[in-house]
Amino acid sequence: MENYVLDWTSLLLRWTHVITAIAWIGSSFYFVFLDSSLTPPVDEDLKQQGVSGELWAVHGGGFYHPVKFAVKPPTMPANLHWFYWESYSTWLSGFALLTVSYLWNASAYLIDKSLMSWSPFAAIVVALSFFVVFWLLYDGICRVFGQRKHGDAVVGALVLVLVGAASYLACEWFAGRAAFLLVGAMMATAMSANVFFWIIPSQRKVVAAIKAGQPVDPLHGRRGKQRSVHNTYFTLPVLFAMLSNHYSFTYSHARNWLVLVLMMLAGAAIRQFFVARHGYKLGRNRHPWPYALAGVSAIIGAMVWMRPVATDSIAEGARSTSATIPVGYDAVKKVLAQRCYLCHGAEVQMKNVRLDSPEQLKQHAQGVYLQAVVTKVMPMNNATGITEAERQLLRQWFETGAKTD
């Protein structure tokens, strides 16, 4: 019953998390586009009001004319829309999902004893420390170098080193699937912390100064804008880390930390292409195709580097021959009893899957084949030590009819 409740909780949290993430990313992407696409106002009245840029757009059967005031509007509007609950809701639902999916069963989902044999409590503490330590170091880098000459380039380089180090440590200490997700959650935490500690407070200070009739310090706007720009470059790397848990060939690679860094770097480069493209369309900069080329090249390079090693023709022929020899239920049962019944037997049925009877095994035969042979994600983190020979036995059993009688 507990597993059933956890499955429903995970489903609803994941649904909520995706919805709120779409809202946050959508609004973030829109405002980056808006800010990059503004043109100087033509109307004299807008100029006199202090408008620094305007945009005309058509959508949903209507025309829109947003304008931006460089420092402050002539008067504070009665209804001012804020954008922060999208961020907070995404983080809260994501952390709850991480807790249910990984921290709740840390011994199965977070810990890989072939890497680090520590207690669930220790693993959870170290995992959560990634969020805190990364934020403190990232925030410190921005504070120290962010306002200096060439500060953006320095901050970008240092953050790349920081993310690379975190990726390496996470993949050395935790199960690959959890490590990728942990790095993504770490960066997403920094994104939400940017909103909570910098972007919204900066905007509140500007609003408070306007209401009090005091001069507005433009530094608040610049600081908020800097962190907002960082968030937009974090977005695609975070999304890759979150989606990677469905593709075991990424996190199960021998150099999985490098795979993660390469793909996140590709995502950041591709995001830069789209950001710079807005300005290019207005003639503000050169065509940003090198960023797209760099991102796509990194992805193609990873695909070539990670390609499966060709199997020796003799060994391949031997496998093809053996695949024609039927494997009976008794042989498969021995493997399942030793490697799978712990989580899918009479006492525990993770994901409502039970394999300790011919009827149940027949029902889940394709799932066993996909999870244990094709993707090799099961047993989770290979906690029960299934061998390649046993996986091939399961393959042979399935490909010769998956008989259970």
pLDDT tens track for 197-208: 999 999 999 899
What tens digit of pLDDT does each residue of 388-400 get? 888 888 888 888 8
pLDDT for 196 equals: 96
DSSP letter string, 308-329: PPPPPHHHHHHHHHHHTS---H
Q: How far is CA 224 from the centre of its chain?
A: 23
Q: For a pLDDT cut of 70, what percent of the chain falls above it?
A: 95
Lowest pLDDT segment from 127-136, 175-184, 212-221, 254-263: 212-221
Could you give phi then psi for residue 324, rounded to 5 degrees?
Answer: -85, -10
Q: How far apart are CA 368 and CA 389, in angstroms?
A: 15
Cα atoms in the Cβ-side hemisphere of radius 13 Å centred on 39: 11
User: How much is the pLDDT for 222?
Assistant: 84
Higher pLDDT, 323 or 331: 331
Length of the chain: 405
Does position 318 have pLDDT exceeding 70, yes or no?
no
Q: Is 324 exposed, middle or buried, given 0-12, 13-18 or 19+ CB atoms closer than 10 A?
A: exposed
Residue 7, token pair as written in the block: 């499955």
321 pLDDT higher than 60: no
- Identity of the amino acid at 83: F
Helices vs strands, H then E, count in the chain = 18, 4
Q: What is the pLDDT of residues 19-43, one digit of tens each?
A: 999 999 999 999 999 988 999 999 9
Nearest to 91 by CA among 194, 230, 223, 200: 194
242-246, 301-305, 401-405: range with lowest mean pLDDT: 401-405
pLDDT digits (tens, 9 = 90+) for 106-128: 888 898 888 888 999 999 999 99
344 has which bridge partners? 349
Residue pLDDT, tens place only, 255-291: 999 999 999 999 999 999 998 887 776 767 788 899 9
pLDDT exceeding 90 applies to what percent of the chain? Answer: 49
Higher local confidence (pLDDT), 223 or 299: 299
pTM of structure: 0.82
With tokens 């995502």, the residue in question is 267
**What integer is the mean pLDDT of 221-250?**
91
Q: What is the mean pLDDT of residues 290-299?
A: 95
